[in-house]
């Protein structure tokens, strides 16, 4: 691997302490990566602070042009990034290329948003003073990214931070640091100043991030990952009263009404369940199907799931790669075993294969009881857990019966009815007759324990800006 060192102040810096990155399909080491310590974090903060002053002073159009160039360069190299994603994450090639394209789009979207940090000038109704409102860069941002989208979760945070005028330090997941490191030469070529973006892979994530969050120069922390880790980061962020942007866990329900178009419902559920092998906070976790159509739905979903080819994602004929590591695979297997022990039926899959690699087959469970663990926690794997309902009110109640509120999916042929159901679901996002909600142009985020703030859309850039109000008389 070409880029395996720390990226600080526009230079590659080796460390004596390193850690291995494993290919989940082969269980072989593919790279030895530098592991950052506290001194490295301080150096990155120094570099970002120095570079930010000039970057923030640039016109919005100047920043926009750099981001636009980054989109062009990444789009031209999608195959390269897709291959790297597959090697370190395991996802199938077609899925990896989709992620790379999605990741690049954040540069294009925020190139357009960089020039739209609109303010306001008006009169105070009582005093007559001018109210002048503008948005300014918040300050240095620490970006902590997960392993399930090695490229997209980095660009979804980095692009709006740069558009806003901030300097950043990226801490990629230890399982998948290579993709983000490989992006740095591209940003250099696009014109990002040295020091503005720094990447610190490390096997000491907790201590490293906590140290940075207690540096007074840091004003924003953006994290994607589990709710448990998010809570810890929020506690650290509270000490310095940082702006937090948190995209945390999910427990996404799919509600399939009896009047749904079956073809659309099956395709949408497949996408919501199997995109990224189910290793996504947006993945369909609980599938509620009206009893009148449950038999046909289960049969057709099972046929689709059973037909998927499992194997090394570098093989272009493969649909489903391995899970990211042994712990994730074993947790998925435990969810299935628990559901079956409590009365669920295995329609396909359900058995961990022998041999090398962290593989688990696409699995459909029917008759999943409410007491099953997978109903209350993220499966994070290729398991479709089907339940039935007969009453719409009951379906809405069960869909909302979770501490999470990231995304839900609804399938119905009656648009008015479907919108009424969507509005009663306590989720930050709802996919209506579609299994994909992620879009750079849309505000991505959840309610309840699924996080704070939004990524993407116009709101995504404002997470990295402070609103300043000037009361003026003249």
Query: Which run of H or E residues covers position 375?
Result: helix 373-376
Distance CA 251, CA 280 (A): 10
Yes or no: say if 463 and 455 are a contact pair by the CB < 8 Å rule.
yes
Rounding to the nearest 10 degrees, give the CA dihedral for residues 227, 232, 233, 234: 80
Angle between helices 178-190 and 78-89 (to 10 degrees): 160
Strands 28-34 and 18-23: antiparallel
Yes or no: say if 452 and 120 are a contact pair by the CB < 8 Å rule.
no
Q: How many CA atoms lie within 13 A of 95 on its CB side?
A: 30
Distance CA 21, CA 199 (A): 16
Query: Which run of H or E residues covers position 452?
Result: strand 451-452
Distance CA 54, CA 350 (A): 56
Q: Among residues 175, 247, 279, 347, which one is catalytic? A: 247
Q: Given CA atoms 109, 112, 114, 118 in this order, what sign does their dihedral have?
A: negative
Closest CA to 176 of 44, 279, 274: 279
Yes or no: say if 356 and 350 are a contact pair by the CB < 8 Å rule.
no
Distance CA 217, CA 214 (A): 9
Yes or no: say if 34 and 214 are a contact pair by the CB < 8 Å rule.
no
Going from the C-alpha of 191 to that of each of 76, 103, 169, 355, the distances in angstroms are 16, 18, 17, 46
281 is known as an active-site residue: yes
What are the tokens at 159? 């692009």
Distance CA 66, CA 190 (A): 6
Distance CA 224, CA 212 (A): 17
Output DSSP code: residue 283. S
Q: Among residues 88, 99, 113, 281, which one is catalytic? A: 281
Distance CA 427, CA 446 (A): 6
Angle between helices 392-400 and 415-424 (to 10 degrees): 40
Distance CA 223, CA 233 (A): 8
* Cα radius of gyration (the chain): 23
Diameter of the chain measured on Cα atoms: 78
Known catalytic residues are: 247, 281
């Amino acid at each position: 691997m070409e880029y395996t060192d720390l990226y600080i102040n526009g230079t590659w810096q080796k460390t004596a302490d390193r850690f291995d990155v494993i290919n989940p399909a082969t269980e072989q080491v593919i790279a030895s990566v530098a592991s950052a310590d506290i001194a490295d974090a301080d150096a990155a903060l120094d570099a970002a602070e120095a570079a930010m002053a000039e970057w923030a002073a640039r016109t919005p159009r100047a920043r926009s042009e750099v981001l636009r160039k980054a989109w062009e360069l990444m789009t031209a190299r999608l195959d390269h990034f897709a291959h790297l994603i597959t090697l370190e994450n395991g996802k199938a090639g077609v899925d990896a290329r989709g992620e790379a394209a999605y990741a690049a789009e954040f540069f294009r979207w925020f190139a357009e948003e960089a020039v739209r940090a609109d303010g306001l000038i008006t009169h105070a109704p009582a005093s007559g003073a001018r109210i002048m409102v503008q948005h300014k860069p918040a300050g240095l941002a620490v970006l902590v990214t997960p392993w399930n989208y090695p490229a997209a979760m980095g660009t979804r945070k980095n692009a709006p931070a740069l558009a806003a005028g901030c300097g950043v330090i990226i801490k990629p997941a230890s399982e998948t640091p290579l993709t983000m490191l490989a992006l740095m030469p591209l940003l250099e070529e696009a014109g990002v100043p040295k020091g503005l973006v720094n990447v610190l892979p490390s096997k000491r994530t907790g201590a490293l991030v906590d140290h940075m969050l207690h540096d007074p120069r840091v004003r924003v922390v953006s994290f994607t990952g589990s709710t448990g880790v998010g809570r810890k980061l929020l506690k650290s962020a509270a000490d310095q009263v940082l702006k937090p942007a948190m995209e945390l866990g999910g427990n996404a329900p799919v509600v399939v009404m009896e009047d749904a178009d079956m073809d659309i419902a099956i395709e949408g559920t497949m996408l919501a369940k199997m995109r990224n092998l189910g290793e996504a906070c947006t993945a369909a976790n609980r599938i509620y199907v009206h009893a009148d159509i449950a038999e046909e739905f289960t049969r057709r979903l099972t046929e689709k799931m059973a037909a998927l080819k499992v194997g090394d994602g570098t093989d272009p004929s493969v649909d489903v790669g391995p899970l990211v590591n042994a712990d994730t695979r074993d947790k998925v297997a435990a969810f299935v075993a628990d559901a079956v022990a409590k009365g669920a039926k295995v329609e396909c899959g359900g058995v961990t294969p022998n041999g090398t690699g962290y593989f688990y087959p696409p699995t459909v469970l029917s008759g999943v009881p409410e007491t099953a663990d997978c109903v209350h926690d993220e499966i994070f794997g290729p398991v479709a857990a089907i339940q039935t309902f007969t009453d719409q009110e009951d379906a809405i109640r069960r869909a909302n019966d979770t501490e999470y509120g990231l995304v839900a999916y609804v399938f119905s042929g009656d648009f008015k009815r479907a919108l009424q159901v969507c509005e009663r679901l306590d989720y930050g996002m709802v996919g209506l007759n579609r299994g994909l909600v992620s879009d750079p142009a849309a505000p991505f985020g959840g309610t309840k324990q699924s996080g704070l703030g939004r990524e993407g859309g116009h709101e995504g850039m404002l997470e990295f800006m402070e609103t300043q109000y000037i009361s003026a008389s003249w």
